[in-house]
Structure 1
Amino acid sequence: LPFILVMPVHNADTKHHFDASDIPGEPKMGTELGLLAADRTPYHLPGEELARLVAAAEDAGWAGRADLARRATRAVLARDASPGDRVRARLAVIDAAGQALGALDETFAYAMADAEGDPALQAAVRLRTAWKHNLSDGDPVRSRDAAAEAGVLARSGGDQVAEAMALTVRARMGRILGDPDAEEILAEALALPAPEVPLGMRNAPQYLAVRHALFDDRNADARRQLLVLLPAVRRTGSAEDVFEVLRSLTEVELRRGRCAAATAHARDALELTVEAGLSPGPAWYLAALAEAMGGGFARAAGYARRGIQASEEEHDQVFLSRGLYVLGLVELATGEAAKAVTTLRRVAELEAAQQVVDPSILRWHGELAEALVLADAPEEAADLQARVRTTALALGRTSVIAALDRARGLCLSAQGDADAAVALLEDTAQSFELLELPLERARTLLALARVERRRRRRAPARAALAAAAEVFARAGAAPWTELAREPSPCPSPGEGAGARPPGSLTEAETRLAVLVAQGASNQEAAAKLFVSVKTVEARLTRIYQKLDVRSRAQLATTLRLG
């Protein structure tokens, strides 16, 4: 496969063997030197010139330099190149494109046509087609099928590295699709011979094993393996390989409650993206995630929006979902429940279109259920929890179930069963502690404080807030620490002015009641709460019935009296 960085270039006069890998961390320079060597090759040595051009194209693909890859490939195609050389040059253009594979259909078609009759080359093309089906098309079924075809071709061509990578893609797609055989397929890939440092990290079996450890909450194991991989890929890997390891380190450190370490890795990943010219969507997602937990909510939202825009422009469905997830998380944390519902519903729609079954990969389900409760839609939240819980139980996704239980506790509280809500949230906090997920435990304690405060048990509410604040502070989760130090994790408008929301109202009803009591019209309240006027009218009718009032003036008086 043309993933290998070591590409020979011969000096036309001395026949000295030049290797781009002799320049550590400078694949771009190797590409430029290869192009220069081709340009200086005497005209009577067309074979050597062509070899140098192909090598330069492959170096550019490895370096992620789309401009240099296209330049070298145009030169190859303008010469009397063999089908194999044309395929390798075109694959370099594909490799250099990063996440932006959606616009390369013609390149794929020409590469597959030129590869006809050569199983190893066909395997290389089909393997990249599998990546495209996942990243750009959002279709894991087609990706899995293309990878299976690539594996057969690679085995026929005697390329065990390509066969291992094809099995890895099948295992990755199998995990997404909830295939119980995914782990066996990954084990088969790991059993094949592979380089000490995996080439093409994203689809190497060793790296997917780390990702599965992360999905399964074996965070200490994942971190240990990543710290072995990081120096190795810094020495011999591509910029994309280094980014992938930094990405996983960021995510695993956040799961372990080490926000400072996660932020440092995310910063390195962003700097690498800028320096190497990688696709920006994944880096902005990572920066947003680290900022949402350990920096500031406003900056996190800004980074997430940049990542969403970049992923939309590159038709990257995978990281579009992730950027939207972080934005929805921030909106939920800052009390913008209606916005969070809209954002996280979009994540749900994207994952449904991508046929994602396993809920442990991108864990948005609990957040959407919580947002639905806060947006006064507990029935919809309960339906979502029940639907996802069935899948999570079947696949053994314990932490996903715990996140659903946190949302279910809030749902029980909204439906008037405070005792059951408190019991469930206390058990859920204990579950997260056993899973060694401190930030999730602290978020559950915030939910517990909200429920206790709603039923006017101030001492237990303060105790839950204090415990949450301690965990957040120890983890370096600055914005969440501030939330835990407020009088309420999600204070209702007007509470600071002395109004105390009646216990019979939901949080969404309380927010509306306060706005109306302060003089807001139905249209103004709808705009501030991001709901329709009809929703405001229906909700206001319920408020009047619950509080036994008939006018805005009576409502204001009732709120003042608590």
Structure 2
Amino acid sequence: LSADRRMREQRLIRAVDALVGTGNLPQAIAFAPEIESFPASPLRDAVLGYLAIQRGRPAEADLLLTQSWSACDPATDPATAALICQRRVLDSLARWHGPDLVQWGSRAVSLVDPSDPSAVESAAIMGLGLAATGKTTEARAAYDHLSATVALGAQSQRFEMARGWLDLALDEPEAARQELESAVPTAFRMGSARISLWAQAWLARTQFALGDWSGAVTTVERAARQLEDVGLDLLRPLVHWTGAQTQALRGNRDAAQHHLRRAAASLHDYPIMFLPSSLARAQCAEVEADYPTVIRALEPLTRLQPREGVDEPGFWHWPDVYANALVMVGRVDDADTFLIPHEERAAARQHRSAQARLGYARGRILGARGDIDAARAVFEQALQHLDTLPLPYDRARVNFAYGQTLRRAGKRREADAVIQAAREGYSALGATSYVLRCDREIKAGGLNLERSRVSLADLTPQEQAVTELVAGGASNKEAAGELFLSVKTVQYHLTRVYAKLGVRSRSELAAQFRNDG
């Protein structure tokens, strides 16, 4: 419809920019060759750089964005300059470089009106850049300010996604779930499929952390289907990471391997791709007790530059996995040296779950050196850090390492009790792989599993009431209404019942109810 050639080129470039922004990459890619044939300009290069970011091509994106910024004059064309800055913000996020993210975000916000899309998306992500460099108080303050000013619709979707990601990293997974669930839908709010996929990737991690593994698998499967449709390679490893880890823990090796293949990335990719890919490989190998593979998967992370974001507690849970693997292959001194700066940083940040996870590894080190009293104190401290956090997998994991360490030190009676606690936690989660490992540990320690089995008669009166209703087909909400309890309380009782009885689902609970009843 554009008779003027220059106008037509500008409109096509803007149209492709919008397609990338909403996540419609296949159509944007179809137009890319035509745009590449246009004369070089700041806008053209910025849009092509934007497309390269979403396709997970860091070298191409950097070249195009560098050219774009060099050719642009912020004084005469602030709108294009702000747009380039916003693309640099996304590039910095993908490289997980907090200082650059904040620098480019501040430039974008200073160049245009606060309601401009470039300023909105930059402001929404800047808090993550602050947090990635340890400035969590400033990050929280930034999001508190945004929550009072951001508009509904597409703008709020960006804010909710980023704040949910931050909440998860800062040990507030329940708040994170609310924020991320709000950022997933795109209908009726003119939201972006691209932002929705970011939200789904972190929602799956949040559901995993909270113990809602069925929800996490559902989220991953939905996001994976959408990724195939839109071709957003940047987020592929992040989405499939949770799928791989969850299926491995459940004992579904074929499904775990499928997700691992889809999560594959290399050092030449963005860190936001390589980090979750490496973690997926390491965590699946850890389930198999294949510690040399864990080390091979994570050792490259020790050389990534810059280090601030990679080592910042709460975002990427790799130091404890790596240190534990070093201990398990006999490299105890290496594990000790590696762990110290991570422990110091987590303590300085007062990050509870990070301190607990690192305590898990520190306890292993002390146990391997024969200092069982110090190991016991560290493991107990780790459990205290988790005491008020809704992180059941982390709690089971600490108990498992604690019990193994006690048993290897000859403390069989203590070890049996702790391993049994780990088994109950893993059983409630459906972590079949670790339930079997716990059973082997308990058997090696001499505990009679049959003697320790709990029957329905051993449940508390309220647990029995919940069990009867749920086994009869009632939903959690229906059971809550019948018993005048909150749904959350019913879920709490049900989780304990699952752990006590050693069942993993409502159908297994119903079967045992029929047998014991």
Residue 431 in structure 1 maps to residue 390 in structure 2: no
Q: 1:268 aligns to what?
A: 222
After TM superposition, give the deviation of residue 290 of structure 1 in Å. Answer: 3.0
Shift of 1:247: 1.0
- Alignment of structure 1 residues 46-57 onto 2, 5 Å: 53-54=12-13, 56-57=15-16
Work out which of the residue numbers 125, 128, 133 in structure 1 matches 2:84: 125
Cα distance 1:235–1:267, how it changes in 2: closer, same or farther (>3 A)?
A: farther
Deviation at 1:441, TM superposition (A): 0.9
1:217 partner amino acid: D
Measured after TM superposition, the shift of residue 264 of structure 1 is: 0.9
Q: Is 1:326 the counterpart of 2:280 in the alignment?
A: yes
C-alpha separation in 2, matches of 1:152 and 1:235: 27
User: Alpha carbons of 1:398 and 1:197: their partners in 2 closer, same or farther (altered >3 Å)?
Assistant: same
Verify: 1:184 aligned to 2:141, yes or no: yes
Q: 1:78 to 1:447 in 2, by over 3 A?
A: closer
Is 1:283 the equivalent of 2:239?
Answer: yes
Conserved 8 A contact 2:167-2:175: yes
Q: 1:402, CA displacement in angstroms?
A: 0.9
Give the Å deviation of 1:343: 2.3
Q: Which AA in structure 2 matches 1:100? A: R
Partner of residue 348, structure 2: 394
Shift of 1:91: 4.1
Residue 112 of structure 1 contacts residue 125 of structure 1 at CA under 8 Å; is this kept in 2? Answer: yes
For 1:94, give the aligned amino acid. G
Opposite residue 194 of structure 1, the aligned amino acid is A
Q: Is the 8 A contact 1:253 1:261 kept in 2?
A: yes
Q: Quote how far apart the aligned CAs of 1:103 are.
A: 1.0
What is the CA–CA distance in structure 2 between the aligned matches of 1:371 and 1:78, rounded to whole Å? 51
Higher mean displacement: 420-429 or 368-377:
420-429
Q: Distance in 2 between matches of 1:341 and 1:44?
A: 61
* Contact residue 285 and residue 319 of structure 1 kept, 8 A: no
Structure 1 residues 3-38: Cα deviation after superposition (integer angstroms, max 9, x where no partner): xxxxxxxxxxxxxxxxxxxxxxxxxxxxxxxxxxxx
Q: For residue 455 of structure 1, report the CA deviation from its aligned partner.
A: 2.5
Q: Which amino acid aligns with 1:185?
A: A
Does residue 28 of structure 2 align to residue 69 of structure 1?
Answer: yes
RMSD: 3.3
Residue equivalent to 2:492: none
For 1:107, the aligned partner's letter is L
Name the residue aligned to 1:194.
151
The answer on whether the counterparts of 1:413 and 1:421 sit within 8 Å (CA) in structure 2 is yes
- The CA deviation at 1:119 is 0.8
**Counterpart Cα distance in 2 of 1:479 and 1:45:** 65
Matched, 1:171 2:127: yes
For residue 283 of structure 1, report the CA deviation from its aligned partner.
3.1
Q: State the Cα distance separating 1:78 from its structure 2 match.
A: 6.4
Partner Cα separation in structure 1 for residue 380 and residue 82 of structure 2? 52
- Which of these residues, 28, 41, 51, is aligned with residue 96 of structure 1? 51
Give 1:471's match in structure 2, choosing from 415, 425, 428.
425
- Equivalent residues in 2 for 1:232-243 (5 A)? 232=186, 236-243=190-197
Aligned length: 439
Alpha-carbon distance in 1 for matches of 2:198, 2:435? 29
Q: Give the distance between the partners of 1:128 and 1:277, measured in 2 at CA.
A: 19
Q: 1:165 to 1:229 in 2, by over 3 A?
A: closer
1:56-81 deviation per Cα after TM superposition (whole angstroms, max 9, x unaligned): 423432354555335546556767x9
Name stretches of at least 5 consecutive residues in structure 1 with no aligned partner: 1-40, 492-562
How far the C-alpha of 1:205 sits from its partner, in A, is: 3.1
CA distance in 2, matches of 1:147, 1:182: 13
Contact 1:256 1:437 in 2 (8 A): yes
CA separation of 1:365/1:77 partners in 2, compared to 1, >3 Å: closer, same or farther? closer
Find the residue that maps to 2:301 and give its secondary structure.
helix
Cα offset for 1:436?
1.8
Q: What do the CA deviations read for 1:354-394 (whole angstroms, capped 9, x no partner)?
A: 65442211011111221122121222322333321211111
- Between the aligned partners of 2:23 and 2:105, the Cα distance in structure 1 is 23
Note closer, same or farther for the CA distance 1:355–1:249 as it changes in structure 2 (3 Å cut).
Answer: closer
Contact 1:100–1:316 under 8 Å retained in 2: yes
Paired residue secondary structure (1:198)? helix
TM (norm. structure 1) is 0.69
Q: Deviations over 1:115-153 (max 9, x none)?
A: 4321121001111023223425x5433333222222221
Residue of structure 2 in register with 1:442 after alignment: 396
Q: Is the 8 A contact 2:426 2:432 kept in 1?
A: yes
Letter of the aligned partner of 2:244 in structure 1? A
Give the alignment of 1:374-389 within 5 angstroms. 374-389=328-343
Q: With structure 2 as the length reference, what TM-score do the two structures score? A: 0.75
Are 1:366 and 1:407, in contact at CA under 8 Å, matched by a contact in 2? Answer: yes
Contact 2:359 2:381 in 1 (8 A): no
Give the equivalent residue in structure 2 for 1:253.
Answer: 207
1:233-258 CA distances to partner (integer Å, 9 max, x unpaired)? 68633322221121121111111111
Pairing of 1:339-488 with structure 2 (within 5 A) = 339-350=293-304, 353=307, 356-487=310-441
Q: Given that residues 472 and 480 in structure 1 are in contact (C-alpha distance below 8 angstroms), is that contact kept between their aligned partners in structure 2?
A: yes
Residue number among 179, 186, 190 corresponding to 1:225 in the alignment:
179
Q: Go from structure 1 to structure 2 and tell me whether the alpha carbon gap of 1:113 and 1:74 turns closer, same or farther (over 3 Å shift).
A: farther
Within 5 A, what are the aligned runs for 1:36-55?
A: 41=1, 53-54=12-13
CA distance in structure 1 between the partners assigned to 2:33 and 2:254 by the alignment: 45
Distance 1:193 1:219, change over 3 A: closer
The whole-number CA distance in structure 2 between the counterparts of 1:380 and 1:352 is 22
Deviation for aligned residue 1:268: 1.0
Residue segments in structure 2 that go unaligned for 5+ positions in a row: 445-517
Displacement of 1:348: 2.5
Which stretch shows the higher mean deviation, 350-359 or 249-258? Answer: 350-359
User: Partners in 1 of 2:167 and 2:3 — Cα distance?
Assistant: 56
CA–CA separation in structure 2 for the residues paired with 1:132 and 1:192: 25
Evaluate the alpha carbon distance shift between residue 352 and residue 69 of structure 1 in structure 2; reply closer, same or farther with a 3 A threshold: closer
State the alpha-carbon separation in 2 of the partners of residues 333 and 77 from structure 1. 47
Aligned pair in 2 of structure 1 residues 91, 237: CA closer, same or farther (>3 Å)? farther
CA offset at residue 420 of structure 1?
Answer: 3.0
Residue 87 of structure 2 aligns to which amino acid in structure 1? R
SS in 2 for 1:236: coil
- Provide the secondary structure at the position in 2 that maps to 1:308: coil
Task: Report percent identity of matched pairs.
Answer: 20
